[in-house]
Structure 1
Amino acid sequence: MEPYRTIASGRDAGSNIKAGAPSGKIPNLQLLRALAAFAVVVAHAMHETASLADVAGRVPLDGSTWNLGFGVDIFFVLSGFIMTHTAAVEFGKGGAPLRFFLRRCARVIPLYWLLTSILLLGAAIAPSLLNVPIGGIQHVLASYLFIPSGRGVDEIRPVLALGWTLNYEMLFYVFFALALILPIRLGILWLSALMMGLALIGNLVDPQQVQLAFWTSPIILEFLFGVYVALIFRSGRRVGGWAALGLMAVGLLGFVRFSTTWDDAALPQFLRSGVPAALFVLGAAIGPALPANRLVLCGVALGDASYSLYLSHPFILRPLRAVWAKFVGDHLPLGLFVACGAIAAAIFALALFKFIEKPLTAYVQGFARRVDRQKSVRAASTSGIDAGNA
C-alpha cells in the first residue's frame, strides 16, 4: 500500500502523464491511492465516534450505508497493478525474484516495523488506549514477520491491527517473485493458477488452521484483478473521458451497501468489492489524465503519503478521541470529530512521509543496493580468478 513509480517510457507513460505532473507517476492512480487511504481513515474515525457517543449519551453516527472499507479493496487491486507494471521487464531474468522481493521488503518493512515498535511502547505506557490487548511474544514476533496470528477473540490481526493487509501483501510478493522466474506469459498464467487454486481450496475446505484460513481467503484474487488491469494498460488500450467515467461510476458502487445481498455471507468480498475496485482502477488507468491543477497535485501528494496515512492514522484518532471526550463532550456534532480527525491524520501523514518514511526508505534501499553491488564485485572477482586458473 505504498506510493509507486511507473516505467515512464513509450505510450504507457505518455498517455497518462501530462506536462507538469511529477515524472514517472500516474497522477490518476495516485489520486486513487489518496481516496482509498482517506476512506479507511474516515471509516475508523466514524468507528471512534461510537465511544464518544457512549460517553456523551448520544446516538452514534450511522455509517451502515457506506462501505468505506472499500479503500482496502482498491489498495489490493492497485498493488497487483503496481507489481505487474513496474516489474514487467523483469520476467525471466536471472536474479529477478530476489531483487524484486528485497525491493519490496525495503519499501514496506521500515515504516511498518517502526510504527509497530512505537505501538508496543505506547501499549506499555498507556494500555487504556488500546481496544484489544497486545498478545504474547509469539504474536509479537508473528506481527514483525507478517505471519497471520490470532489476537483477542476471533480476530486475526497483528500488533498494529492495520497490518493485516500487509500480511496479504507479503504473500502476494512471494508469489509474484516466484512468477518472475518464468517469461511473462507463463509467469502470469502460473500466478493466476496458484492464487485461484488457493482461493478455491479456502472456499471448499474451510480450513481451521489460522494461517491456512487467512492465506486461502478469496480476497487474494483482488491482487490478480490488478495484474490483469495492468496487462490491459500495458497493451496500450485507452478510452475517452465518458467511457472512463462510466467504468469509475460503476466502480464507485463498491462504496455503497444497497441491501443484504451485498453482505459477505451472500456475496464474497472479492465479488462485492473487488470487481468494482478493479473497474474503478481500470477506468482511472486507461482514461485521460486529469489536468495538473493545484487540487490534483494536492491529491497526488496525499497519494504519495498514502502508506504513511494508512498506517499512522490510529496514532492520531485514538488520542484525539480521548481529548475530545474530555474537553468537548457533547458540545459539538460527532461529524465534526470525523472531519477534524481525518484532516489531522492527513497533515500528520504528509509530515511523516516527508521527514521519516521517505528518508528511512531511501537509506534502507541504498544499503541494499550497496550490498548487492559488493556481491556483484565479489562474484566478478571470483569469476576472473577462476578464468585465470583455467
Structure 2
Amino acid sequence: MLNNLQGARALAAISVVLLHVGASARDHSVNTPLFSSLGNWGNSGVDLFFVISGFIMVYVQDRSPRSPGRFLVDRAVRIVPLYSVMTLALFGLLIVAQSVVRSPAPEMGHLTASFLFLSKAIYGLDPVLYVGWTLEYEALFYLIFALSIVLSKPCSGGQKLLLILSSALILLVLTGLAPPIVLEFLYGAAIARVRHLIGLRTGWLFMVGGGVLLALTIGHDIAIEARWIFWGLPAAIFLMGCTIVPQISNGLVTRLGDASFSLYLTHVFVISALMKVYSLIPVVIEGDVWAAVVCGVAILVGILVHRYFEQPLTQLVRRGVTWIDSLNRRTAVV
C-alpha cells in the first residue's frame, strides 16, 4: 500500500474544496480575501487526481492482471453507485426546491447522459452534478485502458499496454476528440513503469520540486488547454516523488485519502448550504473565518459519508456482482 498516494488524494480533494468555497463565497457576496487570493488554483487538484488515476490503473494491473471486463466492472463498482446517488439527490433537490436552489431542473435526456458519463459528449454540458465532468474523462480513460488490455494481450500484455494506451490518448488529442488534459493519465501511467529507476534522494527532490512548482501557480488561472503543462507536469513530478520517498503512516491523512471520492462528490452540497446559512446568521463573522468553517464541515461530511454510506453501498454492490458472477458460472457448468 502506497500511503503517500492517499495523502496526495487528500491534497487533491482539499484543493478542489478550497476552489469551490472561494467561488461560492463570491456568488453569495461573502468577502474572503484569503480564499479569493487562491484564484482558480484549486483546479490543480483535478490534474493531480488524473495523474494518480493513471498511476494506479497501471500499478494495479501490473501486479494483479485483470481481464478488460473485470477491469471495467471493478471501476464501475468503485465510482457508479455513489455518483448515481449524489446525482439523483441533486436532481431531486432541483425539482422540489427550485426557489432555494435557483437553478432549473435538467431535462431527462441530460440526466440520463449524466448517468452514462456522456453529458459533455452529447450535450456539450457539464453533468447534472457538475463536478462529475472529471468522471466523464475518467470513464473515457477506463474504456481506452480496457481496450489497451485487449490489444496488448497478443503482444505480451504489460510490455505493450503503455504504448497502446499512449497512442490512443495522443490520437484523441491530435484529432480534437479530447482535450490535452487527458494526457495527464499518461503521466501517471509512465510513473508506474519508471519509478523503480529513481533513487530516494532524487525522490525527495521530485516531491518537493513538484510541490513548489504547483505552489508557484497560486493565483493564476490556467486554461484547460494548457493545464497538462502548467499543472499536470508539476503534479506528475510531485507524485513521482511521493511514490519513492518513505510512506506516511498518519491514520488521519490516509483516512482522508480514502474518503476523497465522497468528499469530492458531497462538498458542493455542503458549501452551497452553508454559504446560504451565512446570510441568515445575525452575528457578523469574518468571511475567511466562515470559509474555513465551511471547509472543515465539508471535510467532516466527506469522511462521514465515506464511512457510513459509501463503504456499505460499495460492499453491497460488490456482493451483488459476486453473486451474479457465481450464478453465471453455475449456469455455464449446467
Same fold (TM over 0.5): yes
Q: CA deviation at 1:52?
A: 3.5
Q: Are residue 373 (structure 1) and residue 333 (structure 2) matched?
A: no
Q: How does 1:282-361 map to 2 (within 5 A)?
A: 282-290=240-248, 292=249, 296-328=250-282, 331-361=284-314
| Residue 67 to residue 131, structure 1, CA distance change in 2 (3 Å) | farther
Q: CA deviation at 1:34?
A: 0.6
- Output the CA distance in 2 between the equivalents of 1:61 and 1:348: 21
Give the match for residue 257 of structure 1.
217
| Residue 47 to residue 129, structure 1, CA distance change in 2 (3 Å) | farther
Structure 1 residue matching 2:175: 3-state secondary structure: helix
Q: CA deviation at 1:289?
A: 1.8
Identity of aligned residues (%): 31
Which has the larger share of helix?
Answer: 2
- Contact kept? 1:70, 1:255, Cα under 8 Å: no
Give the match for residue 19 of structure 1.
none
Q: Determine which of 87, 106, 113 is the counterpart of 1:116.
A: 87
Give the match for residue 315 of structure 2.
362
Larger radius of gyration: 1
Q: Determine which of 54, 60, 71 is the counterpart of 1:86.
A: 60
| Residue 65 to residue 257, structure 1, CA distance change in 2 (3 Å) | farther
Q: Are residue 164 (structure 1) and residue 133 (structure 2) matched?
A: yes
Q: What is the TM-score with the length of structure 2 in the denominator?
A: 0.90
Q: What is the TM-score with the length of structure 1 in the denominator?
A: 0.78
Q: Determine which of 73, 77, 80 is the counterpart of 1:102.
A: 73
Q: Which runs of 5+ in 1 are unaligned?
A: 1-24, 203-211, 383-390
- Contact kept? 1:39, 1:71, Cα under 8 Å: yes
- Output the CA distance in 1 between the equivalents of 2:280 and 2:302: 25
Q: How does 1:180-259 map to 2 (within 5 A)?
A: 180-181=149-150, 182=152, 183-202=157-176, 212=177, 216-233=178-195, 236-240=196-200, 242-252=201-211, 253-257=213-217
Q: CA deviation at 1:143?
A: 0.4
Instruction: State the AA in 2 paired with 1:299.
Output: V
Instruction: State the AA in 2 paired with 1:248.
Output: M
Instruction: State the AA in 1 paired with 2:104.
Output: P
| Residue 226 to residue 257, structure 1, CA distance change in 2 (3 Å) | same
Which 4+ stretches in 1 moved above 3 angstroms?
58-61, 128-134, 149-152
- Backbone CA RMSD of aligned residues: 2.5
- Contact kept? 1:77, 1:225, Cα under 8 Å: yes
- Contact kept? 2:94, 2:103, Cα under 8 Å: no
Instruction: State the AA in 2 paired with 1:70.
Output: S
- Output the CA distance in 2 between the equivalents of 1:132 and 1:150: 22
Q: CA deviation at 1:377?
A: 2.7
Instruction: State the AA in 1 paired with 2:126.
Output: R
| Residue 172 to residue 131, structure 1, CA distance change in 2 (3 Å) | farther
Q: CA deviation at 1:119?
A: 0.6
Q: How does 1:25-44 map to 2 (within 5 A)?
A: 25-44=1-20
Structure 2 residue matching 1:289: 3-state secondary structure: coil
Q: Which runs of 5+ in 2 are unaligned?
A: none
Aligned residues: 328
Q: How does 1:117-132 map to 2 (within 5 A)?
A: 117-130=88-101, 132=103
